[in-house]
Structure 1
Amino acid sequence: MEKVIDVIKTSRRNFIKLMDGLSLDTLNEVPTGFNNNLVWHLGHLVASQQILCYQFANQKPLIEEKYILKYKNGTRPEAYIDQEEFNILKNYFTTLIDQLEKDLSTNLFDNYNSYVSPTYGIEIRNITDVVKYVSFHEGFHLGYATAIRRLVRK
């Protein structure tokens, strides 16, 4: 499990580097042919990790409900994300994986509800499965974010 957490942390560092130096306007830009922008992808990864790891284990997510609702699967950017919200999301993104790592050493996730990803059809039965899935999911979105960055920098 430790290696998977390291992969997620590395992916998150790369995601943050991808956004470094970009203006808030650029982070909010949705390129032609895409449904989302860079800051939405950031929020989506935060919300997804909280839903998958905590909510499906009958635990209260560590972020405000408004972020779950705004960035969960099936959402799109509805409004301009300001600097304050971007900073909050970035902080969550860089700190909550450490909290997950700590929580994995407890029995917090023993009551996990099985879940099948509607997008990929992958069955998630327990916290080990979900951490592996989060790693896959974050890599997928890092790929999209990389493509978006190339387009918005032109």
Structure 2
Amino acid sequence: MNYIKNQLKVTRSSLLSEIKGLSPEFMDVQPSGFNNTIHWHLGHVLSAAEKFLLDSPNGSNLPDNYGQLFGYGSKPADWPEDVPSTETLKLQLEEQLDRLLAIPEEKYADKVETPFKGMETVEDFISFVVLHETNHIGQIHAMKLLVQASN
């Protein structure tokens, strides 16, 4: 497996390992000093990877409301009643990894339609998605420690 695909696999595996055994109630606790919950982070990572790497001309593989629920600047305090469960998000994260790994290597050098913050190729965006997800894994880990310490 090439380096890039290995990074995607290791990063997603780390995320899923970080939440293993956590109850949905635990993942909905918002520790003091944080704007979001672990639940939100799962949806955010999922939505960001979808937006940057997997959106097709026919639309996203995720429901339309995910951008509103989990996009930059969103927060659980503003959520409506019908939010996807953490179990649903976990399954979607697992399924999404298969689609990320299916991006053909010959596409990595392709220029994207809309460059973003200096990123111009599919490979640039894959690197960004890995970095972004790793950052959120750190946030999840910190939140987990704080919630566990308060119980």
Q: Tell me the residue number matched to 1:15.
A: 15
Contact map agreement 1:112 1:126 (CA 8 A) in 2: no
CA RMSD for the aligned pairs?
A: 2.7
Contact 2:53 2:125 in 1 (8 A): yes
Provide the residue aligned with 1:41 in structure 2.
41
1:32 aligns with 2:27: no
Could you tell me which amino acid in structure 2 is paired with residue 2 of structure 1?
N
Give 3-state SS (helix, strand or coil) of 1:48's partner.
helix
Count of residues paired in the alignment = 147
1:5 is displaced (CA, Å) by 2.4
Which runs of 5 or more residues in structure 1 are unaligned?
117-122
Q: Deviations over 1:45-82 (max 9, x none)?
A: 00001111134x75622111111221111111134888
- Paired residues of 2:43 and 2:89 also in contact (CA < 8 A): yes
Once the two structures are superposed, what CA deviation does each residue of 1:20-63 show, in whole Å capped at 9, x if it has no partner? 222211100010011111111110000001111134x7562211
C-alpha distance in structure 2 between counterparts of 1:100 and 1:8, whole Å: 8
> Aligned equivalents of 2:119 and 2:114: distance in 1?
8
Instruction: Normalising by structure 1, report the TM-score.
Output: 0.82
| One-letter code aligned to 1:15 | L
Alpha carbons 1:112, 1:127 under 8 Å: kept = no
Amino acid in the other structure paired with 1:71: F
Is 1:115 the counterpart of 2:130 in the alignment?
no
1:127 to 118, 122, 132: 122
Partner of 2:73: 74
CA deviation after TM superposition for structure 1 residue 114, in Å: 0.7
Where 1:64 maps in the other structure, the secondary structure is: coil
Kindly provide the amino acid, as one letter, of the partner of residue 62 in structure 2: I
TM-aligned CA distance change 1:125 to 1:81, over 3 Å: farther
Between the aligned partners of 2:127 and 2:37, the Cα distance in structure 1 is 25
CA contact (8 A) 1:28 1:37 kept: yes
C-alpha distance in 2, partners of 1:49/1:91?
Answer: 15
CA gap 1:84/1:46 in 2 versus in 1, 3 angstroms: closer
Q: Does residue 65 of structure 1 match 2:64?
A: yes
* Sequence identity percentage: 23
